[in-house]
Structure 1
Amino acid sequence: MPGDVFETEAWFANLQAHGFERAPHRHWTCPLPVSSGAGVAHLHLMQQAPGEPLAALGNYYSCLYGPVGSAQAVGELSAQQWQAFAKALRQLPGSAVLRLQPLDADSAWLAALQCGLQAAGYWTDRFFCFGNHYQIVPQGGFAVYWQQRPSALRHSVERGRRRLDRAGAWRIDIHTGASTDVDRALAAYQAVYAQSWKPPEPCPGFMPGLVRTAAHEGWLRLGVLWLGEQPLAAQVWLVHGGKANIYKLAYVKGQDRLSPGSVLTAALMAHAMDVDGVREVDYLSGDDAYKRDWMAQRRERVGLVAFDRRRLRGLLAGGRHVTGAWIGRMARLLPVVTKQKDLRASRET
């Protein structure tokens, strides 16, 4: 089974070329010790600046992180091979502390790596990164999916279509490959984004690079809703390995009455389910309330942090981590305890 789009060489190449405000100090492609004939696989790691921890090659543009290469090869690694890999990581600068995120909490490779790190002398912990809303495509595709959505969402999309009909000639274009039309669609996306409520991209070259990379790789589903010759909404989806990832979306500020974003999302959802035949649609990072209307399932993406107990820097960083985690738990518990005391006091008066 193909890996996730965020676990491909093409993704990491564009991220390195265009996705950092400040380029990482060091970058390593660390091969996993796979068995002969099973394929090849590796992890992209970095040190952002001298003295900083060894970390996953990623940032706010990254919605998932994992090994690049043969899933079969990764799955066949033994506990001893993961331990050997962890020991090899100890030779890299910054490896007294290792930080990887965001990760699929249920992935077998993550559990195996964590065990390998522990066997190699690291103390490990996981932490919450963000909520991830997603939808398993039901039998029957978009028609069945759409009937399962809340009536308020369906009515909002229907009203938006009727209002667009009254506003003038409108259409939706969905671009999927490398052509001159993709450049026009990219220009429309950038025009919509510039007129939306969203802040400017911290790395202006990242999205143009991603759109062109996705077009070349066959991942791209760039949807644009046009009213006449004015683009009102635009979205970038990435389709790979049976999964559609809703990566970027924007609509022109002040056009809420026409619901252009929702109308476009519904059209792209139908395309992904019925034309692309995906098994899953992923809304990626964030617990925004509107995502619950579109997606039936939720999971969490996590981070893994590891501290080398054999080195002073690892011990000190681990101590700070434990202390910070304890303070955080106490801060969350305090309002609950205070509320319980107040309730007891109110019952006694």
Structure 2
Amino acid sequence: MRLPIRTRIWDVAQQQTMSPSMWNAPAAPADEAERLNELYSYAILDTPAEERFDRITRIASRVYGADAAYMSFVDADQQWLKAQSGRRLPDMLPRSESLCTLVIATDAEVVINDLRAVPALAGHPVVEAGTWGFYAGVPLRGEHGHVIGTLCIVNARAGAPDGFSTDVLHDLAAISSHELILAQRNSELYRLTNTDALTGLANRRMFDSELTRTLRRSRRTGSEASLLVIDLDHFKEVNDAAGHAAGDAALADFAAVLRGVARRPDDLAARIGGEEFALILGGTDGAGALTVAASLLEALAAAGIEHPKRGRLTTSIGAATLEADDDARAWFARADRALYAAKAGGRATVRTS
């Protein structure tokens, strides 16, 4: 049996650190880390509109006679609109300014008959704007049960429609979840076709796609992003002296070291050429990029991968943080120039551009 609406809203307010008469975004749920891991596994954030999800919001709007319906996915900081009908919203907005964060926090449906009458929502940007009076949102669950997003309807006028029930909204959310699982299967197929067979890292095609996506996301969110271009020093000597089998083994061993440095979900490690690699670092400034580069040099030294003529395998790194006038090609070119400067400066080091 579902909790009464008033009790549900009060539970949210009680979780807040400020007075329940003033909006304060609720704390993340206890399973936040697992929830985010499952969300990221679908590779659905900041992706183009898809008819299969647009259709769900259109049906929701028509069934309920709603002014608008939205499907969104919520990461640690942002709400990403995947599909919407009716009044258009930005493709992303801060999680703290979202009503759907209440659904994430409570792991349950949230229905608010009159947004302006709930003390806990006083000061919320949506309430202050006065655009919506009624809200109903239900969880979108991943395959493992975590609430990774929401499906909601809104009306400008306060008050639930006559005979209102969330049953159809839940059914549509379940259909959406099945579509998500299908999307994950397709994402896995995409990963397999965009993975370097020798190293298990992303290949050049996936790298180019991800570099463009990271640039676009940085422009939209105002976050920084950095790129490392990495080349193994004197690698031809490995193949010439020890054979290509030894060279392949060294590449695989280096990939394992690089993978250990690329720990965050938004980091992408790729093999983009014979002995050339790259690391895309979303949400990372220049200082952070240098820290990661230094960590890679240290980790490679600790790994002690054998070089038949130089003792141990080393690498040179070029780093570039995204600048305002960069496109993907210019961004990569700056990192590549920094790599050549590192090579010219004696190798086994990092340079920035």
Length-normalised TM-score, structure 2:
0.24
Greater strand share, structure number? 1
TM-score when scaled to structure 1? 0.25
Structure with bigger RCO (C-alpha 8 Å, 6+ apart): 1
